Amino acid sequence: MRSWIEGASTANKYSPPRGQIYDLMSTSFANSFGSTNTLPAVFFDFLDQRLFEHNNASQFGRSGETTTGFASNLMQANTVDDALDSLTEILVDASACTLNYAQGGFADMAPYAARGLNITPSNTATGGKTITVSLVPGTGSIGPDWKGYNFMNNAVTGNVSATNTFSGFGQFMTDQAVVLFANITGSYTQSFVEYTITCQ
């Protein structure tokens, strides 16, 4: 049973602390389902399947459920204050190579919280452009502490990194690029991620 600790920080208001519970869950998953099935591994498979690939086990059977492409409806979007929401919509005028948001960030990302950038064209350009998304977390580094996926035109194209490149973007109005990342820092602390996007 968990107990409430008055005056403790948000991450440690309960006893045992949230981080200890995550560690126990990870150990339990690995012991039950194999050493590679840690909590981070299970969490990222869940994100991949629910948001991008939609295997049968990840579908809830709800009316109108997205089962192909990026399920953006599962992430709250806000084009006014992207620091408060889980998905930011980025519009790229591929012809002029301009963006509505060239930089921004997500604040107070709790452990196992995911955020994303959904990049779509507002205009096209012959041959498309190269979109580069750079991510800088407040704690830890992209890779061991922050993981996620890159997704372009209905396919996962690889794991997220500090610098993510999408080539040929904006040839068609249906083009879409998504950068998804989540906080799995071992310290289980809240943090922020800043992003910079360029077009060339």
pLDDT digits (tens, 9 = 90+) for 34-54: 999 999 998 999 899 989 998
Give the integer Cα–Cα distance in Å for 161 and 147.
8
Query: Which of 72, 40, 83, 82 minimizes the C-alpha distance to 182?
Result: 40
Listed in order, strand segments (DSSP E) in 31-162 are 87-93, 98-99, 103-109, 114-123, 129-137, 146-152, 156-159
pLDDT of residue 112: 86
Q: Residue 83 has what pLDDT?
A: 45
Q: What is residue 82's predicted lDDT score, i.e. its pLDDT?
A: 45
The strand pairing partners of 119, in sequence order, are 90, 177
Q: Strands 177-183 and 191-199, how do they pair?
A: unpaired
Contacts of 9 (CB under 8 A, 6+ apart): none
Per-residue confidence (pLDDT) for residue 12, from 0 to 100: 52
- What does the pLDDT read at residue 77? 61
Q: In whole angstroms, how large is the CA radius of gyration of the chain?
A: 18
Amino acid type, 179: V
Task: Report pLDDT for 13.
Answer: 60
Please give the pLDDT value at position 59.
81
Below-50 pLDDT ranges, the chain: 1-4, 6, 81-84
In this prediction the pTM is 0.84
Mind listing the domains of the chain with CATH numbers?
A: 74-199 (2.60.120)
